Every structure is written in C-alpha cells, then in structure tokens.
C-alpha cells in the first residue's frame, strides 16, 4: 500500500471540492486529516500538495538560511576575538550557539545585532548581502536581540516597555488602546497566562515574567530572527521550562531563533542545530539529532571530537 492509498492521507492534486469529489471518496470515515488540515494551494513542493495547520500564520520555511554570516573576523585592538567565523540560522529552527567563556559568543551576537561592526566578512540576510551599521539597521530587517540584562525599564509598565522608543501614535497622542491590544495579543500568543494586567509595572514582575516581556518585545515587530543571550541564566526550574517552551514555540511559528546557553540540557531540549565556538573559531555546526552530549562537551572544551571539529 502506498501512502496515497491510505484512507487517512489523501493526496489531492486537484483543487478540493467536497461536494463534487464525494463520489470518488474511497472511505466514508471522516479522518482528522480531512478536517484539521487544508491544502495550501499556493505552496507546493514539486507538485506534492503541502498540508499546513489551519488558523496559524505560516511562514514558508526557506531552504536557504535567513541569517548567513561568512568569514567574520573581529578584533578589539590587538586582541583577536573572532577568526573566520561562519554562522547560519534558519527559519523555523532553534540554532543553539555554545562555547566556553571567552569563546566569542557574545561578540558574535553583537555583530549579528549591529552593535559591533565586523572587521571582515560577509553578512547575508534572506539570501542577499546587507550592511548592518547599527542596531537600528538590524531591527529594520527584523533581527532582534534579547540581551542578558534584558534592558527593561523598572519604572515603566509592560506596555510602555514593549513599545519604548517605537510608540504607536494616533494623531498627536499615543494610541494607548492599540498598544494595549497588541501587548495582550503578543503575550497571549506566547501563552502567558500568569502575567495579569499589561499595565503592571515591570518592577513587580518575577525574573521569568521579565524574560517573557523582553522576548515579547523582540517578537512584537514581525521579527524574523530573534537572538536570546542566556535567557534562563538567572531563573528557577519552572520558569526556565516556561522560557524554553516559549523559545520552541517561536521557532515553530516560523522565526529563526538563536539561543545562547551554557546549559546542555536546555540546548538539547529545544535546539535543531548546534553551533560550537572554540577560541573564536566555529569548530562545528551540526544537527542536534546527529550528535551526543559528550561530543558537544568535547567540542566546547577542546575544539574537536572524533571526526568533528578542528583537525589535529
């Protein structure tokens, strides 16, 4: 029996019309596939109909990486920090960036976010070379970085923090209603039920809630790439778990997510690919499903593991 014969998995090559198509239906039972999924006629891969969940905004998953850095060099004075680094991040995937202290993770993130300008190398976004001279340039492309310190203002409420510097206006006044609505939608999209009012001051929020607000601020703007620098560093287990689930959900919604973490469990729990920096060099960029914990630890600490990493 081929896949197409299976009653639960019909392959529709012609536009679907339940009324006209009934006489041809082999099976009477209404399968979940019939009712839960519809054909996305516009997105076909080589003539094979693609099935997408209903009611979710679906970003087509590109084969090419959204973010593609090649040959990045960076020095601070005489201190060489990054050497010929290549790094990619793909839509719909979590790419974990790991490395020992001082391996260059944060410097690379600052290059991605436009805070540092690389000395050499190529920065490609969605397949085209771009020039990123400032964080504003990166944000304009849809690249958002959530830094370790979160950069939230304690004295402002959640909505004010989310829109700080990018407030919505209606005429001369701020459009508070629209901003509140967007804040609620974004936070509920992250499945945050424990936040309470969006007008709560940030100073009253817990560590996990602050992390969520910082992530919400990053995804509010139709972002395409979100970089999270050690999001669970200062959190307890329950909050870490929630943040990990949010990270995973962002990627499942079609964003390219870059996760920097020291915790191998967190990395293996949510990542699709792992990029390992060792002394300023990218020694491995592998699929998480193909490697073991031991291999990644060896790559982080010695730059090589078996046939992965640096040649000796």
176, two tokens? 């508070």
CA distance 288 to 273: 5
Q: Which of 43, 167, 294, 301 binds other proteins (CB under 8 A)?
A: 294
Ramachandran bin of 294, using left for φ above 0, alpha for ψ from -120 to 50, beta for the remaining angles: alpha
> DSSP string of 21-36?
HGGG-S--S--HHHHH
Quick one: 142 exposed, middle or buried, by C-beta within 10 A (0-12, 13-18, 19+)?
Answer: middle
60, two tokens? 């087509």
> Which residues from 193-252 bind other proteins, rule CB under 8 A?
236-238, 240-241, 244-245, 248
Hunting for tokens 């000796």 — which residue is that?
312
Residue 152 vs 182, nearer CB to other proteins: 182
> Which residues from 53-82 bind other proteins, rule CB under 8 A?
53-56
Is 264 a residue that touches other proteins (CB under 8 A)?
yes
The stretch near other proteins (CB under 8 A) out of 154-162, 196-204, 222-230, 264-272 is 264-272
Residue 209 vs 288, nearer CB to other proteins: 288
Is 176 a residue that touches other proteins (CB under 8 A)?
no
Residue 266 belongs to what H/E stretch?
A: helix 264-270
Residue 42 vs 155, nearer CB to other proteins: 42
Is 46 a residue that touches other proteins (CB under 8 A)?
no
Residue 198 belongs to what H/E stretch?
A: none
Looking at the DSSP bridge assignments, the partners of residue 74 are 82
Q: Which of 140, 265, 301, 306 binds other proteins (CB under 8 A)?
A: 265
Q: At its nearest, how many Å lie between other proteins and the CB of residue 161?
A: 25
Residue 25 vs 117, nearer CB to other proteins: 25
Distances (CA, A) of 190 to 58, 238, 249: 16, 16, 8
Q: At its nearest, how many Å lie between other proteins and the CB of residue 64?
A: 18
Which residues are at the interface with other proteins (CB under 8 A)? 6-9, 15-19, 22-23, 25, 28, 30-38, 51-56, 191, 236-238, 240-241, 244-245, 248, 264-270, 287-294
């Amino acid at each position: 029996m081929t896949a197409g014969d299976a009653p639960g998995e019909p392959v529709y090559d012609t536009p679907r019309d339940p009324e006209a198509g009934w006489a041809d239906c082999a099976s009477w039972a209404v399968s979940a596939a019939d009712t839960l999924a519809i054909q996305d006629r516009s997105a076909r891969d080589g003539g094979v109909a693609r099935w997408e969940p209903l009611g979710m905004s679906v970003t087509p998953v590109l084969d090419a990486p959204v973010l593609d850095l090649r040959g990045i060099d960076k020095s601070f004075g005489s201190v060489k920090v990054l050497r010929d680094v290549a790094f990619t991040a793909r839509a719909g995937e979590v790419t974990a960036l790991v490395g020992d202290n001082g391996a260059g993770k944060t410097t690379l993130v600052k290059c991605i976010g436009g805070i540092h300008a690389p000395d050499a190398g190529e920065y490609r976004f969605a397949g085209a070379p771009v020039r990123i001279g400032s964080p504003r340039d990166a944000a304009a492309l849809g690249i958002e970085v959530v830094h370790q310190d979160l950069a939230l203002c304690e004295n402002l409420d959640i909505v004010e923090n989310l829109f700080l510097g990018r407030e919505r206006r209606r005429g001369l006044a701020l459009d508070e209603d629209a901003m509140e609505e967007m804040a609620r939608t974004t936070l509920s999209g992250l499945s945050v039920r424990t936040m309470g009012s969006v007008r709560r001051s940030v100073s009253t929020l817990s560590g996990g809630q602050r992390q969520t607000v910082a992530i919400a601020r990053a995804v509010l703007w139709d972002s395409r790439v979100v970089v999270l620098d050690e999001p669970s560093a200062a959190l307890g287990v329950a909050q870490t778990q929630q943040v990990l689930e949010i990270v995973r959900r962002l990627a499942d919604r079609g964003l390219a997510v870059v996760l920097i973490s020291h915790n191998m469990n967190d990395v293996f729990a949510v990542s699709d690919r792992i990029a390992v920096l060792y002394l300023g060099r990218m020694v491995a960029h592998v699929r998480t499903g193909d490697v073991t914990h031991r291999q990644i630890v060896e790559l982080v600490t010695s730059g090589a593991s078996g046939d992965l990493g640096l040649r000796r």
